[in-house]
Structure 1
């Protein structure tokens, strides 16, 4: 399986967005999934952004995107792994793919935010070398992370 670059509006992304909305509603309360709609789909388009999905015989396994914050920083958003495929390394692989795309586009750092009810994500980002930073987005109680693409690899630290 390889990642395929697609538009956020591609049919392969629909299961990802639906799953993400359901997950946010389950973890943070009814209506929390509406935050999936807080960024215009065009922000994930080239030449400043990208969105990728991993497919297994037509099933959306994982995906996520990057969008420009400024000339040197890109944000990872809409990252999700199908529950049937979790705990198999797809999220780590996705982060490495997105970091590679960010490098190709000339960015120096990637940022992302996650919530308190996603302990798996918090652990993953720390394990992959992301450093916690001050929150920068609109979400209350979000935990923000940053990864320098210049001097930090995206390989897991042991």
Structure 2
């Protein structure tokens, strides 16, 4: 399998299609709370997006946006089901962390749902630490927020 990572933005058609698959998965796992979370997941203005290809097939993605002057928020992480557990998500996350450093940031934050058990395990494995829920997630019992100094 020949992997390629590209840096792009949220207008990328492959990113848009991967996010549609992510949203379909989240609609099932988030249940009644999906509409609340979905309002914070618009992709129309994301300037920092990575897409991973296996040969020429888009198989994974992730994005980030500025949270404050020195912090980015990781968003829209997804790997197609048939390519999971192969290190694809780690490649995407590392690329986003490197990009964040290049633009002068030293911290990443993110939110995921408690029901996304694989995601929670993945972020722990990548040395992200649980922090108090921030912003719109403060009152959300299903949310877990993470932070990592990069």
TM-score normalised by the chain length of structure 1: 0.84
Aligned residues: 144
Task: Please list every run of 5 or more consecutive structure 2 residues that lacks an aligned counterpart in the other structure.
Answer: none
1:8 aligns with 2:10: yes
Q: Residue in 1 aligned with 2:96?
A: 98
Give the aligned CA root-mean-square deviation in angstroms. 1.8
TM-score normalised by the chain length of structure 2: 0.88
Any idea what the Cα deviations from partners look like across 1:113-140, whole Å, max 9, x if unmatched? Answer: 1001111111111111111101113241
Task: Please list every run of 5 or more consecutive structure 1 residues that lacks an aligned counterpart in the other structure.
Answer: 150-158
- Aligned ranges 1:34-73 → 2 under 5 Å: 35-36=37-38, 38=40, 39=42, 41-42=44-45, 44-45=46-47, 50-73=48-71
Q: C-alpha separation between the residues in 1 aligned to 2:19 and 2:135? A: 20
Q: Residue in 2 aligned with 1:145?
A: 146
Per the alignment, in what secondary structure is the counterpart of residue 129 of structure 1? coil
Q: C-alpha separation between the residues in 2 aligned to 1:96 and 1:17? A: 19
Q: C-alpha separation between the residues in 2 aligned to 1:20 and 1:33? A: 14
Structure richer in strand, relative to its length: 2
Q: C-alpha separation between the residues in 2 aligned to 1:17 and 1:148? A: 26
